[in-house]
Amino acid sequence: MIASAVAQLDAWRQPVAGVASADGAYKEWMHFCVRLPGAQHGYLLVNLNVSEAKVGGRALRTPRLLALARLDAGATWVGSVETFAEQDAVCSPGRLDVTLGRNALRWRDGAFHLSLAPGAGPGGDVAAAIALRPLVMPTVTSTVSLGPGGVIHWVVIPRLEASGWVQVGGRRVTLDRALAYHDHNWGTFRWGGDLSWEWGFVHPDDARVPWSVVFVRISDGGRHRILSTGALVWRGQQLARIFQNREVALTLTGTHRAAAPPLTIPKLARLLVPGTATGVPARVRVDAGDAGGGGDTLTIDFRTDSKARVALPSDVDPFKLVLLNESCGRATVSGSVQSERFDFDGAAMVELVRG
Amino acid sequence: MAETRARAFPRYLRAAFALLASDTPHHFAALRDTLGAMAIVIRLGDEQPLRVCIADGAASVTEAAHGDVALQLGAPALDALLHGEVTVEEAIAADRLAVKGKLDEVLIFLDALHIWLHGALRCPALHDLYARYLTDTR
């Protein structure tokens, strides 16, 4: 049943190559985060995406692969972003399979099979062959209007089990049913437009814990106006509760500071965003409660441990960047849904889009 | 045997300017307007100095030592900059990059460099050229 739902709900909507749409603003990506073994805070992040932008007055569609990984607490992030020519990118709407050069995502026998070849370009430091089997039901499509002509849709699967291997900077680790996260986003918007978000998930340290949580807040660029907030709770395979908008409050406190500047990809972008200041908070707290006065509650307390950045060219201003801050850390989760209490700790990631 | 990076640099630099002009003309125009008549001299290792300027709407990269701002760096420092391992400020502080010129002209050069970088990040073909520069040279 899960595999069938994933195949129907999570398929690609648009080709990854070919003629761009008239307004040149379509975006779509498949995003995976895999917990790496033997570390409190190690994650592999892989994002296969197609992004339209207007360059020199022409609408261009560009397929890209982002790969970021951090093996251990204290270890540095490695990663790269690779861009592909149209003839090297293959995908059909309605299917889940994607090929980007020598990298591929295949949907077979109820699992995603992700293979990453070491990039030929600079910083091709991550390689992998992983089977990612969804363990819980995906959400149906969620949609947020971003104003005139702007919209973003997503499907989320917060818990998959990942088996295979990952090579990070020359070190190979084996995955044996490690927990993983997946989302699929698509829509029409411009990077650098009036948009920002915080998006996170928590994986319990003890995989027997049946609870999975995801939270998201989408705001205008200055974070003065919230467009949508949600916190989703699964119990076992089923989505048990969605807290929405006024039921959810996100509080960002402090500033995460590191001794060295974070890894920024593409690496050339670091020349434009030097220094250690990133605006990533030290803590993100999510408080959710039943607006109708019921007893359902959720609290997530995330503490940032490290971060890396993806720098995207603004579609709006040719001399600005949008930064996707990928933060790893620990989270404490507690609450009650349908009169059942939960309380667990786990590894977590939060993505903060700014710019 | 593969060409050294320092030896190949002028050819790749000319190709990079051509790509910037064709693929991100907005950035090339901003670069032209910012630099005006200024010339930058880049000396990579022990190679001949390169005089870079924009004249008659096109980039000119020629072997010459006279210009308004002079840069001196080794090939490893250039690699470190392109890899994002050091920033311009860090490279200068570490004596890996020397920038000489009048202050207002150096600041114009830094503005031009930022324009160049924004253009480069929007030009996939330039990324491919850079990858070839790293793989086809030593």
Distance from CA of A311 to the nearest CA of B (A): 9
Cross-chain residue pair B118–A264, CB shorter than 8 Å: no
pLDDT tens column, B8-36: 899 999 999 999 999 999 999 999 999 99
Q: Which residues of B touch A264 (CB under 8 A)?
A: 84
What's the pLDDT band for A121 if we cut at 50, 70, 90? very low
What range does the domain containing A194 cover? 2-354
Work out the average pLDDT over A161-166.
97
Distance, CA of A107 to CA of A7 (rounded, Å):
8
Which residue of chain B is at minimal alpha-carbon distance from A79? B83
Complex prediction ipTM: 0.91
pLDDT at residue A277, rounded to an integer = 76
Q: Can you read off the two tokens belonging to residue A141?
A: 């499509």
Retrieve residue B120's tokens.
């480069």
Q: Do B122 and A121 touch (CB under 8 A)?
A: no
Q: How far is A312 from chain B (nearest CA, A)?
A: 8
Give me the pLDDT at residue A122, please: 43
Average pLDDT score over residue span B46-73? 94
Contact A268 B131 (CB under 8 A): no
Element (H, E) at A353: strand A340-354
**What is the rounded average pLDDT of the residues A163-188?**
94
Q: Mean pLDDT lowest for which of A122-131, A140-149, B56-65? A: A122-131
Task: Reduce the secondary structure of A202-263 to three states and give it as a string.
Answer: EEECCCCCCEEEEEEEEECCCCCCEEEEEEEEEECCEEEEEEEHHHEEEEEECCCCCCCCCC
Q: Is the pTM of this model over 0.90?
A: yes
Tens of pLDDT along A41-92?
689 999 999 998 877 677 888 899 999 998 876 678 999 898 888 889 998 8
Sketch out chain B's domains with CATH numbers.
5-133 (3.30.1050.10)
Q: What is the pLDDT of residue A23?
A: 83
**What DSSP designation does A269 have?**
G
| Chain A interface disruption, residue of B117, B123, B137, most A CBs within 10 A | B117
Our count of domains for chain A comes to: 1
- pLDDT over 90 (residue A279): no
Residue count (chain B): 138
pLDDT of A153: 97
The domain spanning residue A345 has which CATH number? Answer: 2.40.370.10
**For A64, nearest residue in chain B (alpha carbons):** B124
- Whole-number Å distance between alpha carbons of A322 and B26: 19
Partner residue opposite A56 with nearest CB, options B23, B84, B87: B23
How distant is the Cα of A64 from the closest Cα of chain B, in angstroms? Answer: 10
Q: Write out pLDDT tens, residues A81-101.
A: 988 888 899 988 999 999 999
Residue A119 has pLDDT above 70, yes or no: no
pLDDT: which is higher, A157 or A279: A157
Q: How far apart are CA B63 and CA B49, in angstroms?
A: 6
pLDDT, one tens digit per residue, over B86-138 is 999 999 999 999 999 999 999 999 999 999 999 999 988 888 898 888 888 88
Q: Which residues of A touch B90 (CB under 8 A)?
A: 274
Most A-contacting residue of B31, B92, B110, B127 (CB-CB within 10 A), to test interface: B127
CB-based contact A312:A191 (threshold 8 Å):
yes
Q: Tokens for B129? A: 């050229």
